[in-house]
Amino acid sequence: MTATSEGGVLSFERDIRPMFRTKDRESMLKAFDLFDYSDVAGHADAIANALRSGKMPCDGAWPASQVETFQRWIDGGKPA
């Protein structure tokens, strides 16, 4: 399984959700809730593509390390 830098498995609550800011959530609420595990897990591939392309978040791209963490979470089975 995929591990965090601390040696544990990546989780949505601990590692992924905190990367999304309140303003990111608010701008996406019409489509899905970035603070909701099932919404993010269900749209994970589309979110990853938007993050890689720099289209998300709308005010500037995430650092490559954050995009990589998100992809590792997907590759690790999207644990809650």
Rounded distance between C-alpha atoms, residue 75 and residue 34, angstroms: 18
**How confident is the model at residue 63, as a pLDDT?**
97
For the stretch 18-50, pLDDT in tens is: 999 999 999 999 999 999 999 999 999 999 999
* Nearest alpha carbon to residue 12 among 56, 72, 63: 72
Residue 4 has pLDDT above 60, yes or no: no
**How confident is the model at residue 75, as a pLDDT?**
97
Residue with tokens 């609550």: 13
